[in-house]
Copies of this chain bind each other. A is one copy, B any other.
Amino acid sequence: MTDTLSTAGIPMRWVGPLRISGNVATTETRVPIATYESPLWPSVGRGAKVSMLAERGIAATLVDERMTRSVLVEATDAQTAFTAARTINARAEELRALVRTCSRFAELIGIRHEITANLLFIRFEFATGDASGHNMATLASDVLLKHLLRTVPGISYGSISGNYCTDKKATAINGILGRGKNVVTELLVPREVVDGVLHTSAARVVELNIRKNLLGTLLAGGIRSANAHFANMLLGFYLATGQDAANIVEGSQGVTMAEDRDGDLYFSCTLPNLIVGTVGNGKGLDFVETNLDRLGCRAEREPGQNARRLAVIAAATVLCGELSLLAAQTNPGELMRTHVRLERDHTTAKDEV
């Protein structure tokens, strides 16, 4: 039913270097971005340049990590669902042991549930080493679900995935309960760099962030999101590093904050749902291996450390592009002028205006 295998060659460039510090990595690195949108490269590049002019660069703090899968079971009634939920909680240790038999790397670190009518959603949370963990979590959940169906009275199969996970859908649960890496990035941009490189002021970036990212997204009916274009940087970075780029859907839900600190600009991007891995699907391709290697994410390290490094580099890349675009939008006409110029330079085709 399927054709011969070929490839879609997405234009890719390395941008930077950018400077990173924090609880995962202290490094300076260039970053690969694969995109059809050529203005993205110089945009991230400008942010990267700013990061090199700040003493600590981008401080990236990894706050949490887990991969989740929610299964769905039907119970005889709500009381039976409730009893089942309590039974499952009480048997957490047994379930943890079961997961250890599925995989060298998967570890069951949490269980949450919610009952509606006679339906019980069970959300399993796993540590998954250097893998983003979709498959590992699904496999482990499959084993757990079979076991529960056999041993907990009054429940039957509903679904291996109840959309309460949530994978590749924009929801509130991932940010509140955790899914993927939760990374906070911060950059203190000296006043003269705000002026000289970003051509704006801290006060104007702060005001724009409030009005556009916080208020504008709210009025549009956004859900747990306040940023200008996290999705663009994530897509480019994900494609270049062999990630499942459909995870930009939840990855793009994050928050940009800015403060005017006596003319210096405190700028921060929080990405609570950043899903990355250095092993797994997409990782065997030559250019992916090369890119991960060049990013220092294929080193011999404790399991999970390569993925964490990749996460903070991804998050720092997001900050660079976000900062640059917001700065541009503080100036009337700048965005359009830049786009027109850059696309003339970089692209082979564009909107026929």
Contacts and interface: CB of A to CB of B under 8 A. Distances in A.
Contacts of A175: 114, 219, 221
Given A7-B34, A164-B220, A336 B212 contact: no
A270 B134 CA distance: 26
A344 to B, nearest CB: 12
A223 B223 CA distance: 7
Given A1-B15, A128-B351, 9 more contacts: A6-B12, A8-B10, A72-B216, A116-B215, A136-B353, A163-B220, A166-B222, A169-B220, A218-B226
A226 to B, nearest CB: 6
Given A48-B1, A167-B229, A170-B222, A7 B10 contact: yes
B270 A169 contact: no
A279 B225 CA distance: 30
A162 B207 CA distance: 12
Nearest to A329: B159
Looking at chain A, what size class is its interface with the partner chain?
35 or more
Contact of A158 (B49, B170, B211): B211
A84 to B, nearest CB: 12
B212 A170 contact: no
17 contacts: A2-B14, A4-B13, A8-B32, A9-B9, A59-B79, A63-B82, A105-B353, A115-B184, A116-B268, A117-B257, A158-B212, A162-B211, A163-B222, A170-B252, A172-B220, A172-B224, A215-B257
A259 to B, nearest CB: 8
Contact of A216 (B22, B162, B270, B349): B162
Number of copies: 4
A317 interface: no
A276 interface: no
Interface string A3-32: 111111111111110000011000000101
A216 B37 CA distance: 33
A207 to B, nearest CB: 9
Contacts of A211: 72, 74, 119, 158-159, 162
Contacts of A160: 329, 332-333, 335-336
